[in-house]
Amino acid sequence: MTALKSLTAISLAFLGSTFLLTAAQPGKDAEPKDAPKKAICVLTPTKDSKVSGTVTFTSKNGAIEITGEITGLAPGQHGFHVHEFGNLSSSDGMATGGHFNPDGEKHGGPHASERHVGDLGNIEADAVGKATLKMTDKLIQLHGKHSIIGRGLIVHAKADDLKTQPTGDAGGRVAQGVIGVAKAP
């Protein structure tokens, strides 16, 4: 009987550890049924800027699809980041804090193995200053530890070089917004 109890305990311990190992994925929380499926951010100009736009974040197949349109930009690339705080109380965008980085990683590009959660790389403005966004990111989420809900979204004056620590040397902040839950399609 003692051997049977020991075998049962070992079997339960093995099954429990197998469940924990297969369920755990770094940076990804199991998506609750009531987790948001869509978020939106309305970008407004910072002081002395004319940049504005709307960006949506939609949960699709374990990733977040990012779409939108931003106008009033200088032609070329501009750093595009999720920042720590959804605080728009400063006209220069600095109240949004630094890049959203809950894992304490170094700054990098959106496809780098090491990067801030908020490092979304660059957006490209055409000759008339309009950037049309359509990208997918697998690190940001709309729930859990990597949730961007309630965080700031910043468009920078310059391109992110994807390497300079801790910000990518992307220059000043030309537009800011807070990412909020949106009605799912």
Three-state SS at 4: helix
Active site residue 83: yes
Catalytic residue among 78, 119, 151, 160: 119
Task: Tell me which of 24 and 43 has the higher pLDDT.
Answer: 43
**Quick check: is 26 in a domain?**
no
Question: Where does residue 46 rank: exposed (0-12), middle (13-18), buried (19+ CB within 10 A)?
Answer: buried
DSSP H helical ranges for 33-94 = none
In a domain, 29, yes or no: no
In the residue annotation, 116 being an active-site residue is answered as: yes
Residues 6+ apart with CB under 8 A from 123: 70, 77, 78, 80, 131, 133, 155
Residue 170 belongs to a domain: yes
Domain that includes residue 149, residue range: 38-181
The answer as to whether 59 is a domain residue is yes
Q: Is residue 93 part of a domain?
A: yes
When computed from its CA atoms, the radius of gyration of the chain, rounded to whole angstroms, is 20
Among candidate residues 126, 155, 170, the one with its CA nearest the CA of residue 55: 155
Res 11 pLDDT > 70: no
Single out the catalytic residue among 78, 116, 146, 151.
116
Nearest to 132 by CA among 68, 79, 39, 36: 68
Encoded tokens for 118:
């908020």
Q: Is 81 tagged catalytic?
A: yes
Q: How sure is the predictor about 89, in pLDDT bands with cuts at 50, 70 and 90?
A: very high
Q: Is residue 24 included in any domain, yes or no?
A: no
The answer to whether position 19 is within a domain reads no
pLDDT in tens, 55-74: 999 999 889 999 999 999 99
- Confirm whether pTM is higher than 0.75: yes
Q: Which residue has the tokens 């300079």?
A: 164
Residue 80: inside a domain: yes
Domain count for the chain: 1
Whether 99 is catalytic:
yes
**CATH no. for residue 96?**
2.60.40.200
The yes-or-no verdict on residue 135 having pLDDT over 70 is yes
In this predicted structure, what is the pLDDT of residue 2?
A: 54
pLDDT at position 29: 58
What's the average model confidence in pLDDT over 35-57?
96
Structure tokens at 82: 């999720």
User: Does 115 qualify as catalytic in the annotation?
Assistant: no
Q: What is the pLDDT of residue 31?
A: 66
The per-residue pLDDT for 15 is 36
C-alpha atoms less than 13 angstroms from C-alpha of 125 in its C-beta half-sphere: 23
Express the helix, strand and coil content of the chain in percent, nearest 5 each. 15, 35, 50
User: Percent of the chain, pLDDT > 70?
Assistant: 83
